[in-house]
Chain A
Amino acid sequence: MVVAIALALPATLFTVLDNLARLSGSFGASAEISLFLQQDASAEQTESLTANLKQDPRVGALRTISPQSALDEFKQLSGFGEALDLLPQNPMPTVLVLSLSAAATTTGAAEALLEELRAQPGVELARADVQWVQRLNAVLEVARRGVLIVGVLLGLAVLLVIGNTIRLEVENRRDEIAVTKLVGGTDRFVRRPFLFEGVWLGLLGGVIAWLLVYTALVLLETPVSRLTGMYGSDFALRGPGFGGLVDLLSAGAMLGYLGAWAAVGRQLQRADPV
Chain B
Amino acid sequence: MSKFTEYIKGYWNGTGTLLVGLRTSMRVFLRKKVTEQYPENRHTTLHIPERHRATLEMVYDEEGHHHCIACGLCQMACPNGTIRVTSATKEDAEGKKKKYLVKYEYDLGSCMFCQLCVNACPHGAIRFSNHFENAVFEREKLLLTLSREGSVLAASGSK
A and B held together in a complex: no
Interface residues, chain A, with chain B CB atoms under 8 Å away: none
